[in-house]
Amino acid sequence: MLAYVTIGTNDKEKAVAFYAELLGELGAKQLFNNENLVFFGIDMATPMIAVGTPFDGEAATNGNGTMLAIPVGSRENVDKIYAKALALGATDEGAPGDRAPGFYGGYVRDFDRNKLTICHMG
């Protein structure tokens, strides 16, 4: 259903370093980059996460109510990737736990205040 999502940043170098290390824990790698964006993923045929500066040259802002959910395959991986995000400088928005039947997740914000949930469903 999705080809990619874009996360805006005001410090591309810092954001790319953060997401390269965080998503690298899930086997993702840098697949494509240009002046504005760096795409991370497993391959070009599966959903990717792009990180970059806004094309219009304006400041990147986070959306109120906007959140990117990153599935990590297990409850153990939620705990691991959540801790990795905090170690990389993300801020806590809610420790991992059961949020709904069949949904386990932890919440963080990156340097630009983009909200992420590290999650496992099932």
* Predicted local distance difference test score (pLDDT) of residue 60: 94
Quick one: tokens of 49? Answer: 């996460």
State the alpha helices, DSSP H only, in 1-122.
12-24, 75-87
- Count of beta carbons in the 10 Å neighbourhood of residue 90: 21
The ranges of the chain with pLDDT < 50 are: none
* Predicted local distance difference test score (pLDDT) of residue 64: 86
Q: Where are the domains of the chain?
A: 4-54+66-121
CATH 3.10.180.10 fits 4-54+66-121, yes or no: yes
* Predicted local distance difference test score (pLDDT) of residue 84: 98
* Predicted local distance difference test score (pLDDT) of residue 1: 80
* Predicted local distance difference test score (pLDDT) of residue 24: 97
